[in-house]
Amino acid sequence: MDNVRVRFAPSPTGYLHIGGLRTALYNYLYAKKNGGQFILRIEDTDRTRFVEGAIENLIDSLKWAGIDYDEGVMVKDGKVVEVGETGPYIQSQRLDIYKKYVDELIEKGYAYYCFCSKERLDKVREEQKIKGMVPKYDGFCRDIPLEEAKKRIEAGEEYVVRLKLPRNKDISFEDAVRGRVTINTDEIDDQVLMKSDGFPTYHMAVVVDDHLMGITHVVRGEEWLPSTPKHVFLYEVLGWAAPTFVHLPTVLNKDRKKLSKRQGDVSVEDFKNKGYLPEGLVNYLALVGWSSEDGEEIFTLDEMVDKFTFERVGKSGGIFDVEKLNWVNAHYIKQYQTEKIAELSMPFMVAEGLMTEEEMKSNWDWYVLLIETVKESLSNLSEVPEKVRFLFGDLNITEEEAKEELAGEQVPDLIKAFEDELSSIEEVDQEFANGVMKKIQKSTGIKGKQLFMPIRAAISGNVHGPELKNIIYLLGKEQLLKRLDEAKAFRK
């Protein structure tokens, strides 16, 4: 196999969509598996959609996800720079290159100048729709002699350049996911290649760039599948070998519709801000449209590289299932060091007003134990405040079961015994927290569920939850006495 070169070529229109991250991931996995290069190119020829800062955000999202690339647009010392031999890697800096090839296509008779106004084009499409035809350009300017077209341009007429597709010709190509695809040119538009502002369309730019950058495999979303015959034709008439095409299934929501902003989280940023770990999101995304041969579902990036093949990519859209993502992410939260989870959870605690950054830092060991106490139950870090809230503020008992436990006749004795134990110490340390329940059992003779359930309800408001000794330690003497007092009030 020739040296594999793949590229991820997003448009800088805002944040990186998770469908885009999955495309980048599959490119990365394929390049790594085959010892090839992975390139990041920016497709910014649609100037109306350009968003300031979007390039930096894209790069940042890829970096956060752990997806490295070898060539292309990078950020160094806070500046956007380009690294590699086949640049520029930003399309708006390549306009002269595109113009050269557009001119060549015109001279060879494979493209033509079109002077139709937007009004005319809209009218033609409207009429075609009424007749039940596929709306497309009617070829009105197709046969204008080149000399005449050039005179009209000199006279200042506005124009675009269109591809001159042969009539009624089958164009076929092999797709690594879909197999052989054949489309007849009568079903395809004479695509605009160069817009009136001198910028190329995606179709022209993508073919020129992929050829000049030596791209061997074009891995992209299946929305580009209908356009691929135009690209195949362009390769042919420019005298270039076409790359291998790989069209990935769309990432869909549970209703089998394309994931869209209207339905909630769709950008990498959204998931990052929700407290998903990069390993969790990337591992899960790999499974949306691909499966490993051995049926495994949890893998590191290196393991993914090892198992990845295009043969295992599905043809139908991959369903994005948040519950499955939560399951995968929970696995990585458990794997992470508790200190790291504590660090990453800090902004969520601050946002919910439970603790300030200063309070967490100055009580670091206490805070790490707090996270350790709830870590097993987390599926993302934005859940931390909700899981630890019961330790802050007043005792809050909403569970019926907890209220029933506190109504037991043995409860006053338990509370009194606990208060006595607390009054005998200066502060609650680990030793006290570990041994106090045994002491209460000894002094009251109450044991098992009759001992643990009411005590748990009296200090946490719930009968189930994290380890009791941790709750005792985390609350501390003052809080415990206050809550035992509040629990008495619940009995009245």
Is residue 237 classed exposed, middle or buried when 0-12, 13-18 and 19+ CB atoms within 10 A define those classes? middle
Which pLDDT belongs to residue 154? 96
Answer yes or no: are the C-beta atoms of 311 and 273 closer than 8 Å.
no
CB-based contact 20:62 (threshold 8 Å): no
Residue 276: its pLDDT value, please? 98
pLDDT category at 398 given cuts 50, 70, 90 is: confident
Q: Is 315 a catalytic residue?
A: no
Catalytic residue among 123, 129, 169, 261: 261
Q: Which residues of 269-280 are buried (b: 16+ CB within 10 A; e: fewer)?
A: bebbebbbbbbb
- β-pair partners for 75: 80
What b/e sequence results for 155-183 when a residue is b if at least 16 CB atoms lie within 10 Å of its CB, and e otherwise? eeeebbbbbbbeeeeebebebbbbeebeb
Would you place residue 225 in the very low, low, confident or very high pLDDT band (cuts 50, 70, 90)? very high
Q: Kindly state the percentage of the chain with pLDDT values over 70.
A: 98
Judged against a pLDDT cut of 80, whether residue 490 lies above it is answered with no
pLDDT of res. 319? 87
Per-residue pLDDT at 1 exceeds 60:
no
Predicted pLDDT at 126: 94
**CB neighbours of 4 closer than 8 A, spacing ≥ 6?**
30, 31, 34, 35, 36, 37, 216, 217
Upper half-sphere CA count for residue 273 (Cβ side, 13 Å): 9
Average pLDDT over residues 229-238: 97
Q: Is 114 annotated as a binding residue?
A: yes
pLDDT at 265: 64
pLDDT band at 256 (very low <50, low <70, confident <90, very high): confident
Is 261 annotated to bind a ligand? Reply is: yes
The arithmetic mean of pLDDT across residues 214-227, rounded, is: 95
Say if residue 135 is preceded by a cis peptide, omega within 30 of 0. Answer: no
- What's the pLDDT score for residue 52? 85
Quick one: CA torsion of 419, 423, 426, 428, rounded to 10 degrees? Answer: -20
| Each residue's pLDDT tens digit, 407-432 | 889 989 999 999 999 999 999 999 99
Cβ-in-10-Å burial (0-12, 13-18, 19+) of 3 comes to: exposed
Q: What Cα–Cα distance (Å) separates residue 412 from each residue in 307, 446, 450, 454?
A: 61, 12, 12, 10
pLDDT at residue 282, as a whole number? 97
Better pLDDT: 404 or 343: 343
Q: Is 429 annotated as a binding residue?
A: no
Domains of the chain from N-terminus onward: 5-89+252-312 (3.40.50.620), 91-248 (3.40.50.620), 337-390 (1.10.8), 400-490 (1.10.10.350)
In this prediction, residue 135 carries a pLDDT of 87
Contact between 10 and 58 (Cβ < 8 Å): yes
pLDDT over 80 (residue 227): yes
Neighbours of 330 (CB within 10 A): 19
- Per-residue pLDDT at 348 exceeds 80: yes
* Residue 143, marked binder: yes
Cα 281 from Cα 409, distance rounded (Å): 50
Task: Band the pLDDT of 492: cuts 50, 70, 90.
Answer: low
Instruction: Decide if pLDDT at 264 tops 70.
Output: no
CB neighbour class for 454 (10 Å; exposed up to 12, middle 13-18, buried from 19): buried
pLDDT tens column, 121-134: 999 999 999 998 88
**Rounded CA gap, 28 and 32, in Å?**
6
Residue 261: pLDDT band (50, 70, 90) is low
Q: How many CB atoms lie within 10 A of CB 399?
A: 14
Least confident of 60-69, 150-159, 250-259, 284-293: 250-259
Q: Which amino acid appears at position 333 of this protein?
A: I
pLDDT at 87 over 60: yes
Q: Percent of the chain at pLDDT above 90?
A: 84
| Per-residue pLDDT, 378 | 97
- Do the strands 251-252 and 318-319 form a parallel or antiparallel pair, or are they unpaired? parallel
